[in-house]
């Protein structure tokens, strides 16, 4: 990729974005800050033509059935055809869903994404013979084919994965039925998405400065960090109060998702849904169990942070609504071009090629930057288009958290760039288990850079406080989510039901324990215990634990890089370049971090303790 000059001109946000746009009609946005989906398809006609081409290609797949074992060449030809069509499907699916997320209120975008979901299900159904037929050929014959046909080398790992899944693979007819059921599998998540992003009548509240704001998910994320405590309380009460009104609906959606997960585990003969979810990537269950056990053991570190936060905010009693404002007040904003420049500079320890890649990516039209009415909330990276570029969705608010989020998402993005560059399509796509290492390591590098360029102790306190909150949110909060997710799956597996009210009780008990409610550390009132309804990740089948394991790993890698350990950068970049060429736990362990052991989690807690020591040293100096 071509290198681009770092953009150092700091523009005023008011020149291209009105912060109150979420409350009214879309404001005109500079095209430089809107992703360019014509990089995928030049127009709707091209998209439709590609979709029709794929549909025609699917007709050819049934002819492959029964002939995979004819010869090594026949198997290579078949896999070339299948993966070629899958590559087309990924591009189509990416375009459809990114276009929908630009404005979830527009029916054509919803229909397009639904069409692609159906096409993907059809593709899966058409391929339902693949696993059973390869398993029928047997391990010895497949290994013989691999030795005889060089073209099969890029499919070695996918073929070995199919052989590994033998005890949980059904016959061709049953696999076909399960593929058809897949058409319904995302219904709970789709229901949640439409309800939370498009149909919810989100409340408006008037803040202490007289400004009326809309508390949709983006608005809540922004205004929960208000420096005015009464405003924060008002935001929490209004936002979670509205969620509480829809507790039953969200409960039905999540219960349906958990039943779907449990059905998949049962029909594939796994002992439980956790084992099923971990099996795809061959993650030892010890990783999940050790994470939760070590999180419990290190709750005193979290509670120390809460006490420090209360002290720095001058509060006798810390409430849940007091967690999000920075512990040091700042009026500083970060215009988007400044964020780009900071991230490029912060990631320079990863080498010249990484700097070139992230510079080019941040200045191309790969990021949809600012909030707009109907736009999907939150942030994400989509990078599965093998011969294309990653895309990042942001809802940039000009605060430091937004800068950190941008660094996070483009950590994913450059991970995809490196994996796609060094791996064939068949093994380029990587697991979330490794993905979140790339993103959170960028956040760690950003913190180190910000501490270097900080002009005062107050500014250092601000960044150190932000880092503490990042570690809390990505490690302790996600581990808490993981414990909740395990609890609700186990409840269904033992025959229990999950109403919205019951989900709130289960979540509330865990929330209070993690935050030391009974010890008077953080007061958790009943209004906020419906927070589970706000979290979309519970629809992703044991997804959230990987945030916590990954940030533990990334802190270990970041420390090695910071200390100048020989080959630390090469080892880390090698992990990113490996993509999905091996099981993610094995890749990380090979790179020097064992996430089934207590060590990385204890090291993360020690890092938090060290940051708090730095904060208290600065505070002592100021007395």
d(CA 515, CA 1): 46
Three-state SS string across 67-106, please? Answer: CCCCCHHHHHHHHHHHHHHHHHHHHHHHHHHHHHHHCCCC
d(CA 343, CA 357): 12
Question: In this structure, how many other beta carbons lie within 10 angstroms of the beta carbon of residue 266?
Answer: 14
Q: What angle do CA 335, 314, 319 make, to 5 degrees?
A: 85
The first and second tokens of residue 556, run together, are 């270990």
DSSP characters for 182-193? HHHHTHHHHHHH
d(CA 123, CA 86): 8
- Nearest 10 degrees: Cα torsion 131, 124, 195, 413: 80
The first and second tokens of residue 20, run together, are 């109150």
d(CA 145, CA 75): 8
d(CA 458, CA 440): 24
d(CA 549, CA 554): 9
Q: Contact at 8 Å (CB) between 255 and 235?
A: no
Q: What is the CA radius of gyration of the chain?
A: 24
> Which residue in this structure is represented by tokens 């009460």?
237
Catalytic residues: 409
> Which residue in this structure is represented by tokens 């949640």?
192
3-class DSSP state for residue 42? coil
Question: In this structure, how many other beta carbons lie within 10 angstroms of the beta carbon of residue 79?
Answer: 21
Which residues touch 280 (CB under 8 Å, ≥6 apart)?
Answer: none
- Nearest 10 degrees: Cα torsion 521, 527, 531, 534: -140
d(CA 304, CA 307): 5
Strand partners, 380: 393
The residue among 348, 361, 367 whose CA lies nearest residue 417 is 361
Q: Contact at 8 Å (CB) between 425 and 386?
A: yes
d(CA 50, CA 72): 30
Q: What angle do CA 162, 165, 168 make, to 5 degrees?
A: 135
Q: Contact at 8 Å (CB) between 523 and 517?
A: yes
Helices and strands, number each (H, E), in the chain: 26, 7
Q: Contact at 8 Å (CB) between 343 and 362?
A: yes
Output phi, psi for 212, to 5 deg. Answer: -95, 130
The first and second tokens of residue 300, run together, are 């005193």
The residue among 223, 250, 253 whose CA lies nearest residue 236 is 223
d(CA 389, CA 382): 9
């Amino acid at each position: 990729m071509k290198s681009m000059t770092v953009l150092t001109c700091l523009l005023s946000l008011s020149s291209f974005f009105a912060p109150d746009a979420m409350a009214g009609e879309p404001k005109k946005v500079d095209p430089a800050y809107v992703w360019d989906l014509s990089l995928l398809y030049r127009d709707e006609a091209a998209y439709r033509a590609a979709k029709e081409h794929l549909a025609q290609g699917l007709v050819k797949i049934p002819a492959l059935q029964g002939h995979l074992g004819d010869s090594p060449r026949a198997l290579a030809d078949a896999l070339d055809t299948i993966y070629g069509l899958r590559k087309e499907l990924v591009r189509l699916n990416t375009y459809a869903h990114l276009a929908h997320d630009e404005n979830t209120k527009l029916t054509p975008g919803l229909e397009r994404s639904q069409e692609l979901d159906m096409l993907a299900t059809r593709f899966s159904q058409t391929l339902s013979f693949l696993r059973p037929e390869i398993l029928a050929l047997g391990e010895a014959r497949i290994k013989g084919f691999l030795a005889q046909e060089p073209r099969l080398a890029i499919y070695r790992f996918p073929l070995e994965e199919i052989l590994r899944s033998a005890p949980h693979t059904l016959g061709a007819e049953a696999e076909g039925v399960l593929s058809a059921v897949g058409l319904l599998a995302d219904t709970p998540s789709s229901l949640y998405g439409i309800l939370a992003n498009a149909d919810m009548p989100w409340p408006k509240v008037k803040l202490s400065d007289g400004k009326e704001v809309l508390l949709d998910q983006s608005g809540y994320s922004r205004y929960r960090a208000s420096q005015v405590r009464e405003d924060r309380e008002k935001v929490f009460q209004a936002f979670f109060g509205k969620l509480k009104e829809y507790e039953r609906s969200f409960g039905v959606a999540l219960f349906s998702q958990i039943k779907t997960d449990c059905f998949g585990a049962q029909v594939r003969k796994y002992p439980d849904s956790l084992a099923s979810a971990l099996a795809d990537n061959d993650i030892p269950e010890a990783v999940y169990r050790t994470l939760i056990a070590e999180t419990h053991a290190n709750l005193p570190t979290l509670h120390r942070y809460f006490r420090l936060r209360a002290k720095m905010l001058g509060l006798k009693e810390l409430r849940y609504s007091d967690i999000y404002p920075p512990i040091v007040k700042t009026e500083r904003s970060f215009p988007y071009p400044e964020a780009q420049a900071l991230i490029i500079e912060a990631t320079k320890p990863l080498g010249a090629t990484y700097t070139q890649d992230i510079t080019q990516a941040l200045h191309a039209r790969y990021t949809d930057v600012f909030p707009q009415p109907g736009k999907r909330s939150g942030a994400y990276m989509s990078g599965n288009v093998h011969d294309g570029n990653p895309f990042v969705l942001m809802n940039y608010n000009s605060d430091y958290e937004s800068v950190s989020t941008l660094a996070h998402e483009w950590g994913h993005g450059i991970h995809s760039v490196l994996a796609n560059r060094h791996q064939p399509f068949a093994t380029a796509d990587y697991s979330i288990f490794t993905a979140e290492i790339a993103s959170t390591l960028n956040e760690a590098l950003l913190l180190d850079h910000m501490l270097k360029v900080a002009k005062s102790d107050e500014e250092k306190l601000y960044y150190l406080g932000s880092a503490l909150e990042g570690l809390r949110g990505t490690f302790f909060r996600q581990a808490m989510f993981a414990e909740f997710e395990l609890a609700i799956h186990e409840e269904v597996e033992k025959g229990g039901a999950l109403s919205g009210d019951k989900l709130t009780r289960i979540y509330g008990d865990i929330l209070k324990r993690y935050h030391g409610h009974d010890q008077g550390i953080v007061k958790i009132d009943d209004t906020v215990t419906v927070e589970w309804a706000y979290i979309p990740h519970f629809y992703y089948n044991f997804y959230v634990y990987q945030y916590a394991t990954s940030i533990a790993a990334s802190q270990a890698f970041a420390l090695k890089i910071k200390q100048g350990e020989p080959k630390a950068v090469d080892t880390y970049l090698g992990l990113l370049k490996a993509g999905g060429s091996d099981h993610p736990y094995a890749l990380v362990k090979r790179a020097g971090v064992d996430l089934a052991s207590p060590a990385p989690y204890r090291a993360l807690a020690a890092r938090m303790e060290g940051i708090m020591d730095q904060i208290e040293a600065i505070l002592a100096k100021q007395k």
